[in-house]
Amino acid sequence: MHLVTAIIRPERLDFVKKALEDQGLNSMTITEVRGRGEQKGIALQFRGGTMLVDLLPKCRVEVAVDDELVDTTVQAIGNAARTGKNGDGKIFVVPIARTVRVRTGEEVSIGLNIAQHAERATT
């Protein structure tokens, strides 16, 4: 199992959520964050002067998926979030060593297996 984390433009969030839902991935965590990439923010013209905004609003989308679904999940997020301009974001993939349900304390697999994924994708 892997945790796929995407930092994206806020205006692309609905597209990314829809793309994940189309893949049968309904469980996700979304956080409003601020940050900057290699471009170090943007320069805005304000009252005749230039103002540097170095921390831009972004959305962080996190979804836990089975190993077999990592590539399709990354592709779905990338296609939905892409505008082709600087600041589109990044996608990070990290392995999950263990998952424990808080309510019961039991260890669980929270991703979809391949059969569930295929069934949801075709319906």
Residue 19 Rama label (left phi>0; alpha psi -120 to 50; beta):
alpha
Widest pairwise Cα distance in the chain? 60
How many separate helices (H) and strands (E) can be counted in the chain?
Answer: 3, 6
From residue 31, give the alpha-carbon distance in Å to each of 70, 101, 105: 21, 21, 25
Class at the top of the CATH hierarchy for domain 2-122: alpha beta
**Per-domain boundaries in the chain:** 2-122
pTM of the model: 0.79
Query: Does position 58 have pLDDT exceeding 70, yes or no?
Result: yes
Contact residues for 87 (Cβ-Cβ < 8 A; gap 6+)? 9, 37, 39, 42, 56
For tokens 């991935």, the residue is 25
pLDDT score at 123: 52
Model confidence over 1-22: pLDDT tens digits?
999 999 999 999 999 999 999 9
| pLDDT digits 0-9 by tens, 91-123 | 999 999 988 989 999 988 755 444 454 555 555
